[in-house]
Structure 1
Amino acid sequence: MWDIDRVADELTHRAAQRRAGGRITTEWPDLDLARAYAAQDRLVRRRVEEQADHVLGVKLGLTSEAKQRRMGISAPLTAWVTRGMQLAPGAPLEIASLIHPRVEPEIVFEMGEDLAGPGVTLESAMSAVKSVRAGLEVIDSRFTDFSFALPDVVADNASAAAYVLGDVVVPPDSIDLVAEPCTLAVDDEPVAKATGAAVQGHPGEALALAANALGERGHRIKKGSLVLTGGLTDAVFLTQGSTVTASFGHLGSVSLTGI
């Protein structure tokens, strides 16, 4: 019989063994969003305990229409990022350490104040932001071919695997986040373009959504946390020897190479 512990166990083992598997919802149709988020929290807590890691912030998944169309899903979701997921700038990613990694460009917030729902608006969310920077997130679903229902990917911590931050840091009131352009390139060949508006119309709306959703579960976004607001474009596969680069208008560029 499936339960929350078994879901967390299964996804933990898939990640450790670098293997994908079928949808859990196929075998456990009663895995709803409430149970999925409980499994997500348990999975992350085990990572913290077993790997001496700690939660560094929050990520949103499936916030852009491009991502939602690709995955056949219509609702954003929240998940967690940890210190151990953060890559040093310029450090390569060992492809063999993951299952089938993809990379997507992000606008990342560093929080200057705690933020807790309910009732968080775009304005109150942005007033709690200390700084903004570019990022690349590596997603690595523990489901075959990235095929999942919404509860599956929620339980899987929104496919979180790794991320790297750009070195340009700006205050939030110095940049038009809606219009901020981003070009995603693979080996210097542009493959996608977007602006900050691709994330819920404004990345601050994604932040507000996360704060309110987490508030419903008794969580808050803490001062000093990072918030990865969601992929601006569809994600691209990272392969050995290739380099993915996100170039922004005011946030500089950030790259990641697979080895």
Structure 2
Amino acid sequence: MTLTQSPVATADEQLTEALLSGTPCPPVRDVLGDDLVSAYTVQELGIQRRTERGARRVGRKVGLTSPAVQKQLGVDQPDFGVLLDEMQVPADGIVTGHRLIAPRVEAEIAFILAEDIDDPDPETVRRAVDYAASALEIVDSRISNWDIGIVDTVADNASSGLFVIGEQRVKLSEFVPADVTMTLTRNGEEASRGNGAACLGDPLNALVWVAQTAADLGRPLRAGEIILSGALGPMIPFLPNEPIEATITGLGTVRAVLNQEKP
């Protein structure tokens, strides 16, 4: 950091270089301290830079929805990141040509909105949902060795990477998000298991939280947006040529594979 460069500018520079080069950087908490407001400022700077290069905002992702992870990072609330169109993998789940550093994968429920949410409350948020679908989030960290705290992951766009949305569309009247069960397999063998209650007690709670937070920050949720509501079970490494499949009761399956040549 130069004498004239702010901590926010330094953190933004480090994360941008890591994203573009595929080479991780040291934790940005080293320059930002515990300033969560500055971390969200860094996140927004990174998103603005990507949209200036042609990316389009398509939704939000909620992170830190597990009480165990919150305890580990010393926080008492979730965080969120921004989804861009360039992050979405086609429904076939084949991931190619992306510069990933240390990807991991987790299964969650995606909510797609039919209405804007300007004044969020639980009933308004529920009415705004067009449909739900199964989803895989491929998380990644631009921070070396996943050595992250809350400030690091927020600044790094909530450790976002890529995401896949399953093809089955289900109305909220047809299932109860809190009651779903999830099984995640790798190469056909079970690697993770969970349920709807693992996501803030109910994935709809995560949707309400991000709707309220987004409105408070002046970027309310809009019709057509995709909301990844948070992991239903433990995440696992996303390794080359090892197909991943998640089955969520009532929502069907969603698949992903990192299509790379083995060394």
> Is the TM value for this pair above 0.5?
yes
Q: Alpha carbons of 1:34 and 1:58: their partners in 2 closer, same or farther (altered >3 Å)?
A: same
Q: Alpha carbons of 1:142 and 1:101: their partners in 2 closer, same or farther (altered >3 Å)?
A: same
* Corresponding position of 2:192: 192
* Corresponding position of 2:237: 237
1:84 counterpart SS class? helix
8 Å contact 1:14–1:142 — kept in the other structure?
yes
Letter in 1 for 2:218: G
TM-score when normalising by structure 1: 0.93
**Aligned partners of 2:29 and 2:211: how far apart in 1?**
27
* Corresponding position of 2:48: 45
Structure 1 vs Structure 2 CA RMSD: 1.7
**Aligned partners of 1:80 and 1:96: how far apart in 2?**
18
* Corresponding position of 1:36: 39
* Corresponding position of 1:11: 15
Letter in 1 for 2:46: L
Q: Which runs of 5+ in 1 are unaligned?
A: none
1:255 counterpart SS class? strand
Deviation track 1:174-214 (CA, whole Å, cap 9, x = no partner) reads: 11111111101111111221111111111111011001111
* Corresponding position of 1:23: 27
8 Å contact 2:32–2:39 — kept in the other structure?
no
How far did residue 69 of structure 1 move? 5.3
How far did residue 3 of structure 1 move? 3.0
Deviation track 1:99-137 (CA, whole Å, cap 9, x = no partner) reads: 0100000100000111135xx333221111110000000
8 Å contact 2:206–2:229 — kept in the other structure?
yes
- Equivalences for residues 153-232 of structure 1 within 5 A: 153-232=153-232
2:62 corresponds to 1:88: no
TM-score when normalising by structure 2: 0.91
**Aligned partners of 2:70 and 2:232: how far apart in 1?**
11
8 Å contact 1:95–1:239 — kept in the other structure?
no
Q: Which runs of 5+ in 2 are unaligned?
A: none
Q: Alpha carbons of 1:254 and 1:200: their partners in 2 closer, same or farther (altered >3 Å)?
A: same
Q: Alpha carbons of 1:245 and 1:128: their partners in 2 closer, same or farther (altered >3 Å)?
A: same
8 Å contact 1:60–1:206 — kept in the other structure?
yes
Aligned residues: 255
1:154 counterpart SS class? helix
**Aligned partners of 1:254 and 1:91: how far apart in 2?**
8
